[in-house]
């Protein structure tokens, strides 16, 4: 199985090689970069000035008829689901598609100085988190586990980039089913 990385209006292409290798390391799978045009216009909500992440997931699925793969859309756009103010990302549990956004991971959004290292680190953790969902992993109670749910960007900094032993064991088992 391959994991595909699909940039969707993502402004920081220089982050992609390291992101791909972190994801590859976390799941022990090959990560391939894909370039496919996908218009996000219809996913835009002008009132919220945000993009609907569930709509984006549906578009990603239409692009990829291949059965046995995972696809992570990566964007710089601000994402939402109707019941929440914003999301860092969204994924299909035990499915194929996930999406992650760098928009709210930037310190400068919160009036802090720009921090390239933090952005890279948070993006890698949230990308692995969303992909974890596609492998059937649910939220973990261990605050250090990458599957712990983070509401604020600074909470992501407390997590490790790795899965805790429990989640790691679950992942191993799900690969052998
Ligand atoms: Zn989650
Ligand atoms: Zn865990």
Q: Does domain 2-138 have CATH number 3.40.390.10?
A: yes
List of residues 6+ apart from 19 with CB closer than 8 A: 5, 74, 120, 123, 124, 127
Cα of 44 from ligand 2 centre, angstroms = 33
Each residue's pLDDT tens digit in the chain (177 positions)? 999 999 999 999 999 999 999 999 999 999 999 988 899 999 999 999 999 999 999 999 998 767 789 999 999 999 999 999 999 999 999 999 999 999 999 999 999 999 999 999 999 999 999 999 999 999 999 999 999 999 999 999 999 999 999 999 999 998 765
Cα of 129 from ligand 1 centre, angstroms = 6
Domain definitions of the chain by residue range:
2-138
Which of 174, 148, 152, 156 minimizes the C-alpha distance to 70? Answer: 174
Burial 25-57 (b: 16+ CB within 10 A, else e): ebbebebeeeeeeeebeebeeeeeebbbbebbb
Within 53-144, strands assigned E span 69-75, 79-80, 89-91, 97-101
Q: Could you list the active site residues?
A: 130
**Ligand at shortest distance from the CA of 127:** 1
pTM exceeds 0.75 for this model: yes
Cα of 111 from ligand 2 centre, angstroms = 31
pLDDT of residue 176: 64
Identify the DSSP state of 164: P
């Amino acid at each position: 199985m391959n994991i595909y990385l699909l940039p969707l209006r993502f402004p920081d292409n220089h982050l992609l090689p390291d992101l791909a290798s972190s994801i590859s390391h976390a799941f022990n799978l090959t990560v391939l970069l894909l370039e496919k045009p996908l218009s996000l216009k219809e996913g835009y909500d002008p009132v919220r000035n945000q993009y609907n992440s569930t709509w984006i997931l549906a578009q990603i699925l239409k692009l990829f008829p291949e059965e046995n793969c995972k696809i992570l859309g990566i964007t710089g756009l601000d994402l939402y689901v109707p019941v929440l103010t914003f999301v860092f990302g969204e994924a299909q549990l035990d499915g194929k598609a996930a999406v992650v956004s760098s928009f709210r991971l930037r310190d400068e959004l919160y009036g802090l100085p720009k921090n390239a290292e933090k952005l890279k680190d948070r993006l890698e953790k949230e990308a692995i988190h969303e992909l974890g969902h596609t492998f059937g992993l649910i939220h973990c109670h261990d605050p250090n586990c990458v599957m712990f749910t983070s509401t604020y960007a600074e909470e992501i900094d407390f997590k490790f980039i790795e899965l805790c032993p429990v989640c790691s064991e679950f992942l191993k088992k799900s690969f052998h089913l």
